[in-house]
Amino acid sequence: MKINAHAKVNIFLKITGHENGYHTLLSRFMRVETLYDTITLVPQHCESFTIEGCNGIPTASNTVYKAYEVLRDYTGSETLGRFFKTHKVTVTKRIPSQAGLGGGSSDAAAFMRLVNKVCELKLSVETLAKLGSQIGADLPFFIYNYPSANVSGFGEIVEPFDETPLKLELHTPNIGCNTAVVYKTFKENFLNDITPCTFMGWEKHKSTNLLELIGDPVMLNDLYAAARIAYPELKTVAPQGWFFSGSGSTFFKPKT
């Protein structure tokens, strides 16, 4: 019983506003086919929910455990509770953390999809996505599991985009970017400068065309400038001609 939890990149990411304490966005998410964590459910007697492989992250703070709590509270399933007394969760990590690749969110989303099947919870994908959004804004994309999608609102609006995922090269410097810090920096420095007309219609264009036509990583990703203020060392490690994913710190480009 296992499932792969793929990384993502943001081909573009534009902040569209700020409501109720959270930023709204318009972004193209693309699955990274060659980079993924693996979630495995392993038979073992467990006194409580047991998860291994997450580098010392306390269970209560782990996105996978939060996903378990959400499923448990929503369904009230006795089967779910019994299952995790006889199985542990192991996570084989390959996606670096604080890298703009969605590793923690992807792990939680993959866990929800797997458990929904294994424990026969019979929740629709739409319901899973709504529950996942309580944990993090990226979860709905990973739960729908589209190769490429336009994501908007607070992350809860996920619309598949018909294109083949690009073959990508990734470069993650030894810098961890805290998502909350980057968004806070954006709000303090750039929120008042939002001009939606400058990216109108981007969601209709194929990713390869956007990268070629626009070409500027700062223009493509509103969080890049904020990340460079919060983490100035990004300026010295940024490879020329590469693009910036999410709140960072990963750079990417299509393979040639």
Nearest to 181 by CA among 152, 223, 131: 223
**Residue 222 is among the residues annotated as catalytic for this protein:** no
- Name the active-site residue from 2, 138, 187, 206: 138
- Name the active-site residue from 8, 66, 107, 222: 8
Helices (H), 76-135: 78-83, 103-118, 125-132
Cα separation, 181 vs 194, in Å, equals: 19
C-alpha distances in angstroms, 81 versus 45, 76, 98, 110, 119?
12, 9, 31, 18, 10
Cis preceding linkage at 249, omega within 30? yes
Asked whether 109 and 71 are in contact (CB, 8 A), the reply is: no
Asked whether 134 and 70 are in contact (CB, 8 A), the reply is: yes
Active-site residue set: 8, 138
